Amino acid sequence: MEIRKGGQTLIGFPALIDQGDAVTIEVFDEPEVSAAKHRAGLRRLFALQIKDALKYLEKNIPDLQKMGVAYMQVGKADNGTGGGTVEELREQIIAVALERAFLLDPLPTDEFAFKRRVEEGRGRLTLIATEVARMAATILLEHATAARKIKDTKNAPDAVADCAQQLNRLVPKRFLQAAPWPRLQHLARYLKAITLRLDKYRADPARDAARLAELRPLEQRYWRMVAERKGAVDERMQEFRWLMEELRVSFFAQELRTPQPVSVKRLDKAWVQLSA
C-alpha cells in the first residue's frame, strides 16, 4: 500500500498480527518481514474460527505424553537444564497442523476465500495433526538414539563434537517449526546417519577425519553467511543448508541413500551461485 507522508509517498506492506485472542493489522517496510508476520497472524485467525476443534485436538494428540519424555532431552544444556516441555511440543504439533491444513499457498486474500479455507481445513485437521505427531515421534526416537550414541562414543573427540553440533542444529527446541515441511520428512534419516557414522568410526577413524576435513570449509562459510545476515535465510540458502546434510549422509552413511546425487563439487558450484 502507498502511504503519503509530508509530500513523500512511501510503500508499506500490511500484515495481520497475532495478538493471542485477536488479530490486528500493522504495516511494515520490508515485504519479507510482513509476509512472515502475516502468516502467523493468519494462522491465529484460523485458530480463532475453530476453537472447539482445537480444544478436542489438544486433548487427543496420539502418544503425546510418551513423546514428551523424549522431548525433555531436546535443547537440554550440559548441566541437564532447559529441556522441552510437553506443552511446548503440543503447541508445535498444533501450529504445524494448522499450517498444513489452512496455510498452503496461495493464501486466502478475501472473506470468501478465507471462509472456504476454514471449511476445507476443518475436515482434515485431525488427520493432519495425527500425521505431524507421528513424524515428531519418529524424529524424537532417532534423536534419542543419536544422543545416546554421541554420549557413549569414546576416543573420537572430533567426530563426537561434530555430531553433537549437527544434532543440536537438526533438532533445536522448536524443530517442528524450524524446518520446512518437505525437510521434516528427511530429519529422521539425517539423525540415523549420525548414529551409523559413530557405529563405523572405529573401523576407519582416518576416513572419518578425511571426510570431516572436506565438510568443514563448506559448513564454516555457510554458517558465517547466516551470522552475517543475522539469521535471515532465503530459499537458496535453505536449499544449500539441506544439501550439506545430504552430503553428510553420502559421506558417513551411504546405505541410507540421498534423493539426488551430491558431492563437494556440486556444493561448490551451488555456493558460487549463492554468493553471486
Residue 184 confidence (pLDDT): 95
Whole-model pTM above 0.85?
A: yes
- pLDDT of 197 above 90: yes
Using pLDDT thresholds of 50, 70 and 90, give the confidence band for residue 262.
Answer: very high
Q: Does residue 141 fall inside a structural domain?
A: no
Q: Which helix (H) or strand (E) holds 70?
A: helix 64-71
Q: Does residue 26 fall inside a structural domain?
A: yes
Is the separation of the CB atoms in 244 and 219 below 8 Å? yes
* Nearest-angstrom CA–CA distance, 187 and 194: 11
Residue 78 confidence (pLDDT): 62
Cis peptide upstream of residue 180 (ω within 30 degrees of 0): no
Question: CA distances (Å), 134 to each of 56, 67, 169, in order?
Answer: 18, 10, 21
Residue 77 confidence (pLDDT): 63
Per residue in 201-247, pLDDT (tens digit) is 999 999 999 999 999 999 999 999 999 988 778 889 999 999 999 99
Q: Does residue 28 fall inside a structural domain?
A: yes
Position of cell 502507498? Answer: 2
Q: Does residue 146 fall inside a structural domain?
A: no
The DSSP output letter for 104 is P
The residue type at 161: A
Per residue in 111-144, pLDDT (tens digit) is 999 999 999 999 999 999 999 999 999 999 999 9
Q: Are strands 23-28 and 13-18 parallel, antiparallel or unpaired?
A: antiparallel
Tell whether the torsion through CA atoms of 99, 172, 70 and 143 is positive or negative: positive
Q: Does residue 102 fall inside a structural domain?
A: no
Residue 75 confidence (pLDDT): 80
Residue 230 confidence (pLDDT): 83
Residue 276 confidence (pLDDT): 80
- pLDDT of 199 above 90: yes
Q: Does residue 41 fall inside a structural domain?
A: yes
**Domain residue limits at 17:** 12-46
Question: CA distances (Å), 103 to each of 22, 112, 129, 161, in order?
Answer: 18, 15, 14, 38
Position of cell 486466502? Answer: 108
Using pLDDT thresholds of 50, 70 and 90, give the confidence band for residue 194.
Answer: very high
Q: Does residue 36 fall inside a structural domain?
A: yes
Residue 132 confidence (pLDDT): 97
Question: CA distances (Å), 266 to each of 247, 257, 269, 270, 271, in order?
Answer: 10, 17, 5, 6, 9
Position of cell 549422509? Answer: 249
With a pLDDT cut of 70, the percent of the chain lying above it is: 98
The neighbour count for residue 35, using CB atoms within 10 Å, is 13
Residue 233 confidence (pLDDT): 82
Residue 3 confidence (pLDDT): 85
Residue 80 confidence (pLDDT): 66
247's grid cell: 552430503
Per residue in 49-93, pLDDT (tens digit) is 999 999 999 999 999 999 999 999 998 766 566 788 999 999 999
Residue 82 confidence (pLDDT): 75
- pLDDT of 159 above 90: yes
Torsion angle in degrees (nearest 10) through CA of 51, 130, 72, 89: -30
**Number of domains making up the chain:** 1
150's grid cell: 554421541
Q: Does residue 40 fall inside a structural domain?
A: yes
